[in-house]
């Protein structure tokens, strides 16, 4: 392990803690729009702690999902959206809103139908993307595009069938946000899933490195590339399903953060897994902090808009200036 790589991981961890601390301190006066850094009183402290922890967990989970997908599909452009998870979750939410409207339910739950839609999308992609009993990289990507397109068409259809108020709530969720209140079990579930996936990534780092080789080379050094690829896809799908259900889709996090980590520590998954989790946490919590500062007069920008605005140009810069690091 190189000292430089270990140093970058320590620096990323410090950046996560700093961003979370800023999220805890930052305050905006709703009457004047001015912001300040103050220790929150007891009434607000719980909300800000929840937002900071949620942002870190969601960023880490999305980045780790992207890392696993890029390894399993051998495609540096792979991201959680490639499995159709975001679209599946969105379709689940819209379907729940429509059923609630027809049934006369005023405030339907969001997270369960979003998770159900996301998990079903993952299962469908894995079934359609199989070749010889195992997920095939090209077939899986094509299946993800098909599932995402069909789910998107379903969302457009259902949006016209629900009242404008419910439609507005859906659009707000679909732009990506870090909630300050959550069901009691949501954060522990996400934390356990993330910790378990990180632990598996450490234990299987050699097999993850082997996935970057061609199938014959990966098989010759031991293990089953097909089973490792399947575990990666399932783990990435479940992590993304939970995060999208909680926050809505956050663009480019699962695509850019793994490349940032790879640029800093290299492609060995023993170092890449923790670095990617930390880089994703910095990106999302940092975007949430920036959201508290920026006021365009019509309210604060959604976190998903900020991650997209920041991630898109940065990823283009990576492709142009750091091609050899961004390649698999």
Question: What is the spatial distance between Cα 243 and Cα 82, in angstroms, rounded to a whole number?
Answer: 15
Q: What is the pLDDT of residues 201-246, one digit of tens each?
A: 999 998 898 888 766 666 666 567 778 888 998 899 889 888 988 8
The answer to whether 328 and 272 have CB atoms below 8 angstroms apart is: no
Q: What is the pLDDT of residues 183-198, one digit of tens each?
A: 777 889 999 999 999 9
Return mean pLDDT, the chain. 83
Going by pLDDT thresholds of 50, 70 and 90, the confidence category of residue 269 is very high
Expressed as residue numbers, the domain containing 44 is 3-326
Q: What is the pLDDT of residues 9-47, one digit of tens each?
A: 999 999 999 999 999 988 766 566 667 777 877 777 788
> For residue 1, is pLDDT > 70?
no
Q: What is the total count of domains within the chain?
A: 1
> Any idea what the CATH number is for the domain that residue 301 is in?
1.10.3470.10
49-58, 95-104, 277-286: segment of lowest average pLDDT = 95-104
The answer to whether 33 and 295 have CB atoms below 8 angstroms apart is: yes
- The 3-state DSSP class for residue 218 equals helix
What's the Cα-to-Cα distance from 56 to each of 41, 155, 217, 319, rounded to whole Å? 22, 29, 37, 26
pLDDT for the residue numbered 16: 96
């Amino acid at each position: 392990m190189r000292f430089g790589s270990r140093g970058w991981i320590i620096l990323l961890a410090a950046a996560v803690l700093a961003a979370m601390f800023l999220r805890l301190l930052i305050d905006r006066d709703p009457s004047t729009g001015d912001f300040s850094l103050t220790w929150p009183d007891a009434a607000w402290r719980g909300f800000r702690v929840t937002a900071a922890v949620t942002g870190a967990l969601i960023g880490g989970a999305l980045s780790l999902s992207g890392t696993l997908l890029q390894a399993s599909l051998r495609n540096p452009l792979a991201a959680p959206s490639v499995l159709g998870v975001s679209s599946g979750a969105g379709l689940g939410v819209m379907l729940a809103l429509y059923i609630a409207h027809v049934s006369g339910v005023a405030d339907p739950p969001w997270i369960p139908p979003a998770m159900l839609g996301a998990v079903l999308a993952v299962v469908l992609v894995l079934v359609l993307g199989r070749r010889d009993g195992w997920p095939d990289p090209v077939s899986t990507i094509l299946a993800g595009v098909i599932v995402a397109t069909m789910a998107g068409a379903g969302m457009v259809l259902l949006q016209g069938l629900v009242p404008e108020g419910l439609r507005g709530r859906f659009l707000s969720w679909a732009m990506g946000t870090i909630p300050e209140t959550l069901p009691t079990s949501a954060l522990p579930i996400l934390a356990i899933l993330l910790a378990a996936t990180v632990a598996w990534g450490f234990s299987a780092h050699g097999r993850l490195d082997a996935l970057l080789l061609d199938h014959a080379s990966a098989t010759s050094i031991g293990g089953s590339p097909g089973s490792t690829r399947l575990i990666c896809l399932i783990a990435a799908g479940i992590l993304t399903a939970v995060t999208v259900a909680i926050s809505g889709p956050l663009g480019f996090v699962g695509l850019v953060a793994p490349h940032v980590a790879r640029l800093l520590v290299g492609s060995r998954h023993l170092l890449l897994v923790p670095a990617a989790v930390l880089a994703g946490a910095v990106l999302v919590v940092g975007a949430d902090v920036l959201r508290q500062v920026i006021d365009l007069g019509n309210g604060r920008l959604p976190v998903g808009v900020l991650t997209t605005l920041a991630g898109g140009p940065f990823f283009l810069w990576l492709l142009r200036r750091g091609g050899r690091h961004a390649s698999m």
